[in-house]
Structure formats: C-alpha cells, structure tokens
C-alpha cells in the first residue's frame, strides 16, 4: 500500500508527463504529496443566495457578506475622475447584478469573459438606481456544469491555491479537483496512521484516512472542522513531544560543579549601586541563585520589559560564578550592544578584581590573540561578545554560565554551539520582548521562566501621543523648548535613503533638511545601520555625553542604547513599524526620573481615523481586526505601557512567526495550527505529550512506538534539535 502512495502522480488519470512536471515544480511529486495538498478555502451551497433574495436582505438592513453565483453578461471599462473603472454585469435565474473595481481594470478585463460562471462573495449594496452591486468582491470561476450541479446539491466545493506552474499546463480549478478526487478516492485508505489508537480515542480524533477525505471533500462544515481539528492536534502534539523530550534531556543532565554563594562581594556590589533593586529583581535573583547552587544545569528564560533591569540581575549572576573561579559569557546580537555591555560591566566591577574582556568581529589580530589567550587560560572571568564567540578558536578555561541577550535574535544551533564549549554550563536567556503565554507554553516549555514585571522606582510612565504630519512644526518647537531644559531627542525614520518606490521618510534626507531648517539652532547627529559599529559607537557616546541635542536615526537604536537624558522619541511613519518594534523604540527613552515622551507621527488621514476608531480590541471580529490592524496597533501604543499587554495584542495582529521570526527564534512554521486561535488545542496536546514523555522518556512502550517512529520520520530535524543542550 505504501508503495502506491509513493508512486508518481503521473499514474493518475489526466496527469501526463508535462502536468507531472508542473506539479513537481510546486513540490508535489507523489500521490501522497497530492493527498496533503489541502484546499485554501471552501464554498458552501448553504451560503448562496439568489439575486432577488440578496436585494431583500439589503432592504431589510443586512450588512454582512453574501455569496451569489452568476453568469457574465458583459464587461466594460469606463473612466471616472480620469481613472479606469471596471464593470462586470452578471445574471442568475432571478435577476441581474454587477461587480465594480476601481483598480486593476485591465487585469479584471482579461478574467471575466462573457458566458463564464463565477461565485461572487462580498457585502452587497444597492445603487441610487436600485441596482444590486458588489464593490471589489472576492470571486471564483466555476465550470458551467459544475455551477449547475452545485446549485442542485448540498455539497461543499473545495478551492485550491492555483499556482502559475499548474495553469501553464492548463490545469484549472475543476481539473485539479477531479485529479485530487481520484487520488482521495483510490488512495486515502492506504495512508498509514501516524497517531496511536489510544490518542485518537481519548481525544475523539478522526483516523487519518477519514481526515483526508473530509479535508478535501467534506460532507458538511462539522465534518470539515473535525478533520481540521485532527490535523492541528497532530501537528501540535508532536511539537509538544519534542518540547517534552528536550525538557527531559535537560532534566537528566548533571553539571560537574555547583556554585557557592559568597555573600560579602554581592552585598558590597548591591550597596554601591546608585539605585535600589526592585522586589521583582530580588525575586528573580533568588530563583537564579537556587539554580546556580543546584546539581542540574540552569536553563532559565528571563523576561523583562525594556528598562526593567535584567542586565543587573545577569551581572550579579556572573559575579557569583566569577567568585567561584569559573567563567561567564554574555552574548549580544550586535557589536554596539555588546560593546555597551562591556563598558558598563567594566565600570560597575571596578575594584572587584574581576577581569572582563570583549570579543567582537573586526578586532585587530594582535588584540584578538591576547583576548583569546586570556579566555583560554582563565584570566578572563566575564567575556562579552557577539557571534564571534561561536568561532572554533574560542576556547574557554572553565565556562560555568552562559547569558544570551535578546534571545530571539539567535537560533537553537547557535545557542547549542556556545553550550558545547562548556561542561553542561548554566544558561540564562534574556529577552526584552515580552512573550505571550501561548508562546511561553509552546516554544519555551522546556525552560524555567522568570519575569521582572516591575519597573525601577521613580520611573515615570512614558506619555505617548499620536500626531498627524501637519503637527510636525509644533513637534519641532517642542523639541527645541525641551532642549533648553536639558532634554535630548531621538528622531527615528524607517529607511536610510529616499526611494522612488517607497513612500517612507528617509533618515539621511531629513537629517540634512532639519539641520538647515526647523532644528538649525540645535546640534544634530545621524546614525544608521550601514555605518560600521565603531562609527556608530562614537556617535552614540558623543550623544550620551551631550555633545548633540538630537539624534536622527533608523531603527538601529531599537535595542540596547541607554542615554538617560534622551527623553523624547519621535517615530516617523509609525504605521510602518510592528507593535513590538514600536515598544522597543519607545523603551529608548524614560531611563531617568524625568518625564519622557513618545510621539508617533503618521499621515494626517491615519491620525484622524485612529482617533475616530478607538475600538475595544477584545470585541473585534477577525475581519475588523484585519481591516483596522494599523489603527489598532497605534491605539494600543497609546493605551498600553506594558510590553506584556502589547505582546498579546501583537500576537493576535500578526501571528507568532511575524513577530519573532521562525528561523531566528526556533519557532516552528505550523502548516495547520494557529497559536493564537488554537491555544486550547495547544494546552491539551501539551498535557498529553508531557504525560507520555514523563512516563516513558524513551518511548519504548509498545503503545508509544508509533509516536517514536513518527517523530523520527516526519520531524527528524526538530527531534534532533530537541536533544541539543
């Protein structure tokens, strides 16, 4: 049976060599590949109305979307305010209706041919002449026979993503459905089950064969949803098995050393700080101390909002390790952030006799050789660096603690490379991008989690405002006024150079114009990502030393720059930034006891809409969220100062992959599950997976053999990564 699934789709009816080649170009080579090429959407007869019923719905005040099937009568392009407008007239058994597009007229002219049948989906309106009209609707072409059959049956029609490679060999919607129907009918029963029977029965899941049938040609929407649930459950279950396996692997590890706490130097260090540690910092330190003195390696995720004091907690942890004659390493994502950490740590540890070095790309060979030697012989107790730490020639003497800053910028393999340079060292992973509970449960389910949810005393909440571009003169006057009071300002732009293709403000252009115009009485400097890190560093330290009043920048300042007197940040084209990024940028100010300000600048029209559409996010439908997500994002910045609250909103708006980057964070690219919408399934699968792995870590019990085999066959790479420390 398995061999049949592995055979080329060329053996299916209507698939010759040329069509097989087209399928191959989109990754479909075998019958099994085709079975798992699921529809992108479905059209249900129960949602279809006649034109006369749609008119009645509109008259009755109905404001939702409808689906209607009609045949093209004619189409025409006409001009309105010098712009091309496309009109398509269609008819069904009870009357006529029209579709209209104000953009892409030539494109649509080639799609809607007289006599063709289309399923049209959109919100209906009645023109002043009483005509039924759909503006910019979604549409699907139907074959004549199919449309007639469809109107007389209760079936659901699947629609597949039709890629150009298929269309080039004359594979249309109907022909693709016929090919897939044959494959499902003849081969779905041959599919081997990937979940054991006890998992299926305990969770009320369909078998894989029935699932495939209902995914392609569902009897009804209940059957379709049941099939989708099965696919989501399987995907999340095996992911949670991998997380559980990694947790088990970490639990089984033992370190060759346990640190002893020497209270005097730690107490001395804390007393010399110019501020008091918050209760949250002290609580987290207690958790870390327990890990450091334990027999198993620490694997802890430290979450804390921008400016909450994570680095001080990490430094105290590194001091404990140094006092035990072991080494710590702090890895940061950029040279400028690593260099700032190095300088700050060196300054704070004066008088403690702890040697701190930094290892960066681009250092002189003579300088680098000395640093490498000091790392190897153990002279250096705290090593700060970037990816340069991962190079083979970096050898540690006794590596006891690894601290990774801004963890989402590093991959699992990079973290593993560093871990393997020590003997099961303790690991502390830090992030200033708060992680929603769903992701903490999934991606970081193998780590212990600490949270600093308290800001330093006397810090004032940053006042955030949304302003249209016409307010820029007032904003510049505000910057000038505050500069007289000792304030410094970040002016952030989304790109470096002006581009004809991108209508976004450019840092270089505005730096020159502001220096000669609106801000000419102030001292301006410019920084962007194309500069080498030493040039950026010089500008940043000159800025921190108050040699400049205003720093014009791109998002290179997003992470890690600490300038206490910079208490105004103006983010131009704020609509172009993600919510997490906006919050990170806002965190560059408010580092002192002064009142700080964040000004989000957008086109005037967007600013007006944002003030008018201040929705309660919890009560918005998915369609409303999609339509107004830019406004929701901007309003969320004004309403919320907590990064944890914003992270939940950002997750709903953009999805986890777009927030964290799947490759950088180790976040899987789920094909079927959505971590925002399917959190209940996630928690169910997590409980099941952790119970199974807890009782049978090596999956050797007969009932679990199928789980082990599926992990190896379908998730080998992730299964391998789960065994990496």
Per the domain annotation, does 49 fall within a domain?
Answer: yes
Helix axes 221-252, 705-714, angle to 10 degrees: 90
The verdict on 388 and 517 lying in the same domain is no
22-31, 143-152, 706-715: least confidently modelled range: 143-152
End-to-end CA distance of the chain: 39
The verdict on 476 and 579 lying in the same domain is yes
Contact residues for 456 (Cβ-Cβ < 8 A; gap 6+): 275, 278, 307, 308, 309
Question: Where a domain ends, among 640, 662, 682?
Answer: 640
pLDDT band at 534 (very low <50, low <70, confident <90, very high): confident
pLDDT band at 613 (very low <50, low <70, confident <90, very high): low
Give the pLDDT mean for 489-505: 71
Distance CA(59)–CA(67), nearest Å, equals 17
Per the domain annotation, does 16 fall within a domain?
Answer: yes
Average pLDDT over the chain reads: 85
Q: What are the backbone dihedrals phi and psi of residue 588, each rounded to the nearest 5 degrees, phi first?
A: -75, -15
The verdict on 322 and 439 lying in the same domain is yes
Give the pLDDT mean for 580-587: 87
Q: Of 633, 642, 587, 624, nearest to 606 (Cα)?
A: 633
Q: Of 404, 364, 359, nearest to 380 (Cα)?
A: 359
Contact residues for 278 (Cβ-Cβ < 8 A; gap 6+): 308, 309, 452, 454, 455, 456, 457
What confidence tens digit (pLDDT) does each residue in 329-380 have?
A: 999 988 888 888 999 999 999 989 999 999 998 788 999 999 999 999 999 9
Per the domain annotation, does 649 fall within a domain?
Answer: no
Contact 439, 278 (CB under 8 A): no
What confidence tens digit (pLDDT) does each residue in 461-482 have?
A: 899 999 999 999 999 999 999 9
pLDDT band at 722 (very low <50, low <70, confident <90, very high): very low
What confidence tens digit (pLDDT) does each residue in 222-273 have?
A: 999 999 999 999 999 998 898 888 888 777 778 878 899 999 999 999 999 8
The verdict on 31 and 47 lying in the same domain is no
Give the pLDDT mean for 580-591: 86
CATH of the domain at 101: 2.40.50.140
The verdict on 602 and 495 lying in the same domain is yes
Question: Nearest 5 degrees, angle CA 246-CA 248-CA 288?
Answer: 85
The verdict on 301 and 179 lying in the same domain is no
More confident residue, 2 or 548: 548
What confidence tens digit (pLDDT) does each residue in 435-459 have?
A: 776 677 666 777 888 888 888 777 7
Residue-number span of the structural domain to which 444 is assigned:
297-452
Burial call 102-137: b when 16+ CB within 10 Å, e when fewer = eeebeebbeebeeebbbbbbbebeeeeeeebbbeeb
Is residue 646 scored above 60 in pLDDT? yes
Contact residues for 225 (Cβ-Cβ < 8 A; gap 6+): none
Per the domain annotation, does 290 fall within a domain?
Answer: no
Q: What is the pLDDT of residue 408?
A: 58
pLDDT band at 628 (very low <50, low <70, confident <90, very high): confident
Contact residues for 176 (Cβ-Cβ < 8 A; gap 6+): 160, 162, 166
pLDDT band at 725 (very low <50, low <70, confident <90, very high): very low
3-state SS class at 172: coil
Give the pLDDT mean for 412-424: 80
Give the pLDDT mean for 599-619: 75
pLDDT band at 428 (very low <50, low <70, confident <90, very high): very high
Q: What is the pLDDT of residue 45?
A: 65
Is residue 318 scored above 90 in pLDDT? yes
Distance CA(137)–CA(159), nearest Å, equals 16
Contact residues for 639 (Cβ-Cβ < 8 A; gap 6+): none
Q: What is the pLDDT of residue 336?
A: 81
- Total count of domains within the chain: 4
Per the domain annotation, does 172 fall within a domain?
Answer: yes
The verdict on 497 and 532 lying in the same domain is yes
Question: Where a domain ends, among 452, 478, 505?
Answer: 452
Q: What is the pLDDT of residue 556?
A: 73
Is residue 176 scored above 80 in pLDDT? yes
Task: Match 């004066």 to its residue by tokens.
Answer: 350
Share of the chain above pLDDT 90, in %: 44
What confidence tens digit (pLDDT) does each residue in 51-74 have?
A: 999 999 899 888 777 889 999 999
Q: Please list the residues that pair with 71 across neighbouring strands.
A: 91, 117
More confident residue, 580 or 236: 236
Q: What is the pLDDT of residue 52?
A: 94
25-39, 147-161, 395-409, 518-532: least confidently modelled range: 147-161
Helices (H) and strands (E) in the chain, counts: 30, 22
pLDDT band at 663 (very low <50, low <70, confident <90, very high): very low
Which strands, in side-by-side order, build the sheet including 83-92? Answer: 124-126, 132-135, 95-101, 83-92, 66-80, 117-122, 138-142
Q: What is the pLDDT of residue 660?
A: 43
Per the domain annotation, does 353 fall within a domain?
Answer: yes
Q: What is the pLDDT of residue 441?
A: 65
The verdict on 410 and 541 lying in the same domain is no
The verdict on 155 and 167 lying in the same domain is no
The verdict on 393 and 500 lying in the same domain is no
Helix axes 643-654, 622-639, angle to 10 degrees: 160
Give the pLDDT mean for 154-176: 82
Per the domain annotation, does 663 fall within a domain?
Answer: no
Task: Match 């921008």 to its residue by tokens.
Answer: 306
3-state SS class at 384: strand
CATH of the domain at 441: 3.40.50.300
Per the domain annotation, does 723 fall within a domain?
Answer: no
Question: Where a domain ends, among 591, 613, 640?
Answer: 640
pLDDT band at 147 (very low <50, low <70, confident <90, very high): low
Q: What is the pLDDT of residue 524?
A: 93
The verdict on 505 and 417 lying in the same domain is no
What confidence tens digit (pLDDT) does each residue in 119-135 have?
A: 888 889 999 888 999 99
Range from 348-362, 643-657, 665-679 that averages highest in pLDDT: 348-362
The verdict on 27 and 47 lying in the same domain is no
């Amino acid at each position: 049976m398995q061999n049949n699934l592995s055979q080329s789709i060329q053996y299916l009816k209507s698939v010759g060599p040329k069509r097989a080649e087209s399928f191959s170009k989109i990754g479909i080579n075998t019958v099994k590949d085709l079975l798992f090429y699921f529809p992108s959407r479905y059209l249900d007869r129960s949602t279809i109305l006649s034109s006369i019923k749609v008119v009645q719905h509109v008259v009755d005040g109905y404001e939702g979307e409808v689906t209607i099937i009609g045949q093209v009568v004619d189409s025409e392009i006409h001009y309105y305010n010098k712009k091309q407008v496309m009109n398509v007239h269609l008819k069904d058994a009870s009357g006529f209706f029209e579709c209209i597009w104000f953009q892409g007229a030539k494109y649509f002219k080639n799609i809607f041919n007289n006599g063709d049948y289309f399923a049209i989906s959109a919100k209906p309106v009645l023109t002043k002449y009483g005509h039924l009209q759909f503006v910019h609707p979604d549409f699907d072409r139907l074959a004549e026979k199919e449309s007639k059959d469809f109107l007389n049956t209760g079936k659901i029609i699947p629609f597949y993503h039709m890629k150009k490679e298929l269309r080039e060999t004359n594979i249309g919607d109907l022909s693709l459905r016929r090919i897939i129907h044959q494959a499902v009918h003849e081969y779905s029963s041959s599919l081997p089950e990937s979940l054991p029977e006890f998992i299926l029965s305990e969770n009320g899941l369909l078998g894989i064969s029935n699932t495939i049938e209902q995914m392609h040609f569902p009897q009804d929407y209940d059957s379709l949803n049941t099939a989708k649930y099965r696919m989501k459950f399987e995907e999340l279950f095996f992911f949670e098995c991998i997380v559980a396996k990694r947790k088990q692997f970490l639990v089984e590890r033992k370190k060759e050393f346990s640190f002893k706490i020497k209270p005097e130097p730690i107490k001395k260090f804390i007393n010399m700080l110019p501020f008091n540690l918050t209760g949250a910092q002290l609580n987290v330190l207690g958790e870390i101390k327990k890990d450091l003195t334990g027999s198993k390696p620490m694997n802890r995720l430290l979450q804390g909002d921008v400016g909450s004091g994570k680095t001080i907690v990490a430094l105290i942890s590194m001091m404990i390790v140094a006092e035990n004659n072991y080494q710590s390493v702090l890895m940061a994502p950029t040279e400028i952030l690593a260099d700032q950490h190095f300088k700050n740590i060196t300054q704070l540890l004066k008088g403690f006799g702890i040697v701190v070095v930094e290892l960066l790309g681009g250092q002189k060979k003579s300088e680098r050789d000395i640093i490498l030697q000091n790392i190897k012989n153990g002279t250096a107790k705290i090593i700060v660096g970037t990816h340069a730490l991962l190079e083979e020639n970096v050898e540690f003497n006794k590596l006891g603690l690894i601290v990774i800053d801004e963890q989402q910028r590093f991959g699992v393999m990079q973290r593993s490379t560093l871990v393997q340079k020590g003997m099961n060292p303790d690991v502390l992973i830090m992030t200033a991008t708060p992680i929603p509970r769903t992701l903490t449960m999934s991606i970081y389910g193998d780590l212990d989690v600490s949270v600093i949810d308290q800001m330093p005393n006397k810090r004032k909440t940053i006042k955030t405002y949304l302003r249209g571009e016409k307010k820029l003169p007032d904003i510049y006057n505000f910057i000038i006024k505050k500069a007289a009071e000792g304030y410094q300002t970040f002016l952030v732009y989304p790109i470096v150079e002006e581009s004809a293709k991108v209508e976004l403000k450019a840092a270089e252009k505005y730096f020159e114009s502001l220096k000669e115009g609106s801000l000419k009485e102030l001292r301006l400097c410019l920084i962007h990502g194309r500069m080498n890190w030493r040039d950026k560093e010089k500008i940043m330290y000159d800025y921190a030393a108050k040699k400049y009043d205003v720093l014009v920048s791109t998002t290179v300042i997003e992470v890690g720059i600490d300038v206490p007197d910079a208490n105004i940040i103006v983010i131009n084209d704020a609509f172009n930034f993600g919510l997490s990024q906006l919050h990170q940028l806002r965190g560059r100010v408010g580092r002192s006891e002064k009142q700080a300000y964040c000004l989000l600048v957008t086109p005037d029209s967007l600013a007006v809409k944002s003030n008018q559409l201040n929705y309660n996010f919890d009560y918005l439908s998915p369609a409303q969220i999609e339509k107004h997500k830019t406004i929701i994002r901007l309003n969320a910045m004004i309403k919320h100062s907590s990064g944890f609250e914003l992270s939940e909103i950002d997750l709903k708006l953009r999805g986890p992959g777009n927030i964290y980057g799947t490759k950088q964070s180790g976040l899987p690219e789920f094909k079927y599950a959505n971590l925002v919408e399917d959190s209940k399934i996630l928690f169910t699968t997590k409980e099941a997976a952790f119970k199974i792995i807890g009782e049978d870590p090596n999956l050797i019990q007969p009932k679990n053999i199928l789980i082990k085999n599926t992990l190896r066959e379908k998730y080998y790479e992730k299964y391998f990564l789960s065994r990496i420390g």
